[in-house]
Amino acid sequence: MGETTSNEIRQSWQDRVADKKSRILASIPKEFDHPELTHSLEDTASVQDVPQKYLSAKELGITALDASSLVVAIREKKYTSVEVLNAFTHRAAIAHRLLHCCLALPYDLALARAKELDAFLDKTGETVGPLHGLPISVKDQCRLIGTETTCGFVYPIGNVDKDDAAVVKILKDAGANIFAKTSLSIGCMWGETVNNILGRASNPFNRSFSCGGSSGGEGALIGFKASPLGFGSDLGGSIRSPSAYQGLYGLRPSSGRVPYYRMLNSMEGQQTIVSVVGPMARSIDDIEMIMKVIISSSPWTLDPYCVPIAWRTDAVNEITNRKLRIGVFEWDGVCLPQPPIRSALKRTAAALQAAGHETIPWKIDQQRATELVLKVFRSDAAGDIRRQCAKSGEPPMESGCDTPDPALGITQSWDLAMECLDFRAAVLEQWNQTADASKGLPPMDAYIAPVVPAVAPRHGDYSKVRYFAYTATVNLLDYTACTFPTGFVDPALDLPDDTSLVKDAQGGSLPPPTCERDETIRRRYDPEVYNGLPVCLQLVGRKLEEEKVVGMMKIIRDLLN
């Protein structure tokens, strides 16, 4: 064969993208599709009320339920699996038109599955498993038999999965119905969901804002109530930033609790800081339910990296029946959180104190942590992402792997791994020192912190306000973390800082900006522009303490409510 010209390659990837996009829309039943709805990156209005115009009363009722309530409703035959699937598919079709958040809506596969589940329940009176009939969405890293898994790249388009990711197999065996695969950034290495297939995904609370990344399609879909529960992945904050921007609970488990095997990824084999898969949901009860299901399935029999630790219900119960010691991480001395986030931290700390829990100041050297994380992410000088893009001819996009420096050699990589280990050991000792031996008090149980310093970035602004130290430090430490909603931006309450930036709206002193990025983040906040956006924080526990974090999360939820 003759040489392929660059124009032929370019046309080839563009044709594949056009085919993929048309097939996504063609997979939606006509009665669920509304072509008059269009995607926008400029529309500032919330689209949360749009489903009211298109969904039936029954569909609205179904999609208003969280996952825990849905499995009960299906088990008790209030709704069939088909009815629940159709309601969420209808809402997801609207979400995709408005937000560009879905890379697959395999309705035919999901409908066949729902019919099988209904037939089984009718015949036996029993459910297939604890998730019987529950529609679940997954980030398009999760291989699902009969679909394409892209990881945001063009080259996998047309390659149909013949195996399920380990986590998908567990969900299916428990009775779940995987009905949507969601958009992400190329190679999962950017904090905004944008790729050459769908372009940018938008935030349902304000479409001129980002839905986050790299699991932003998942965040947008669940935030629009078009999925009751889903799974994202998190290497530097990719579950937590989309969860924060959409007001969700998003759990970043420690590595080894939820199986990652057979998920598609970039930089595969990089083990110094590992990506993890975790749930995103509307309630902490849903997080607890799905984690119980996954870990009760003995995932260590499917994934050699999973640790053989059963779900410890006693740890959840123990933590909910005693007083807590919670660290409060207000800011790291580099990028100050915007006023709504600072206010949320104060309210949460005050609520804990009022309930008799102890709060203590906490701070980690996140500047050093970020240096280490970026060295790891840039260790191949974006070589892997460029190679994956070259397979189709698609142009590479901005990523967290970009660097002018050459790729690290093997001994340099080993040295970097040891630097990361030393940092982990130093923070471990710092945490241990929060114990108060004179009072017989153990080390702090967890700490609350910002997820990111900005409530959310506007489209095209992410590079200027990008600061992932609050999340990526947790990845470096491999700690357990969960985002939680605290409310929404209220212009009457969340006033901007003084234009000098050294005083807040009440005249209290603020530290002067430390750098251009810090100043940009502070000046970007406008309460009228940010009005109605969700405000979230994260709770961070130690390694492999998922049960304990869930228990503490329940306490904080009840206090804030």
To the query of whether residue 139 is one of the catalytic residues in this protein, the response is: yes
To the query of whether residue 214 is one of the catalytic residues in this protein, the response is: yes
Strands 358-361 and 325-328, by their bridges, are parallel
Distances from the Cα of 203 to the Cα of 38, 46, 61, 107, 212, angstroms:
14, 8, 23, 24, 8
Look at residue 71 and give its three-state secondary structure.
helix
Residue 235 and residue 245: Cα distance in Å, rounded?
17
Return the DSSP state at 196.
T
Q: Are 103 and 182 in contact (CB under 8 A)?
A: yes
Strands 102-104 and 229-234, by their bridges, are unpaired
To the query of whether residue 343 is one of the catalytic residues in this protein, the response is: no
335: tokens are 């990028």
Residue 87 and residue 535: Cα distance in Å, rounded?
28
| Sign of the torsion formed by the C-alpha atoms of 219, 220, 224 and 230 | negative
The position carrying tokens 């898994």 is 149
Name the active-site residue from 238, 241, 243, 297.
238
Name the active-site residue from 20, 139, 225, 554.
139
- Identify which of 168, 302, 283 has the alpha carbon closest to the alpha carbon of residue 228: 283
Q: Are 379 and 413 in contact (CB under 8 A)?
A: yes
Neighbour-count burial of 15, counting CB atoms closer than 10 A to its CB (0-12 exposed, 13-18 middle, 19+ buried): exposed
CB-based contacts of 444, cutoff 8 Å, min separation 6: 325, 326, 327, 360, 362, 431, 434
Q: What are phi and psi of 139, to 5 degrees?
A: -60, 145
Residue 290 and residue 303: Cα distance in Å, rounded?
18
Strands 135-139 and 177-182, by their bridges, are parallel
For the chain, the 3-state helix, strand and coil shares in percent, each to the nearest 5, are: 40, 15, 45
Q: Report which residue type is found at 438.
A: S
- Identify which of 100, 103, 98, 102 has the alpha carbon closest to the alpha carbon of residue 38: 98
481: tokens are 């973390």
CB-based contacts of 428, cutoff 8 Å, min separation 6: none
Q: What are phi and psi of 462, to 5 degrees?
A: -60, -40
Residue 320 and residue 108: Cα distance in Å, rounded?
43
Q: Are 533 and 338 in contact (CB under 8 A)?
A: no
Name the active-site residue from 214, 227, 233, 297.
214
Enumerate the active-site residues.
139, 214, 238
